[in-house]
Structure 1
């Protein structure tokens, strides 16, 4: 089983891959419609919104939490 390099999601089925392309190292949620990977800022924004909604926390805390988690993932390590 592969894990998405951009968000950490387990990719267990072909449907988890962008454009059903299992050679990609990132999941369908981290891809644009054309199959290219989203940027760090795009994922940071999406994950921030998800945390704020799912955990009913302040947006500033969600943003900080998302940043801490994302920066540890392989896709974003070269940034730091």
Structure 2
């Protein structure tokens, strides 16, 4: 089992991978419609929205949490 390099989601089944391509290192939620990986800005926006929805944080707090999470992942290492 791989973990998405862009969001950290465990990719357990083929349908979890971008374009159902198990050679990809990122998941369906981090892929654009053409199968390429989202940019940091796109991922930060979607992750922030997800945190607001699931944890009830305000936008600023959710954005800070999302940044902390993303900055620990391989895709966004500087």
TM score, norm. by length of structure 1: 0.94
Q: Which runs of 5+ in 2 are unaligned?
A: none
Q: Which runs of 5+ in 1 are unaligned?
A: none
Equivalent pairs counted in the alignment come to 78
- Name segments (4+ residues, structure 1) moved above 2 Å: none
Which string of whole-angstrom CA distances, capped at 9 and with x for unpartnered residues, describes residues 9-44 of structure 1?
A: 000100011111111000011001111000000000
CA deviation after TM superposition for structure 1 residue 57, in Å? 1.1
Give, in whole Å, the separation in 1 of the partners of 2:20 and 2:52: 30
Give, in whole Å, the separation in 2 of the partners of 1:33 and 1:48: 20
Query: 1:77 aligns to what?
Result: 77
Query: 1:25 aligns to what?
Result: 25
Give, in whole Å, the separation in 2 of the partners of 1:27 and 1:3: 8
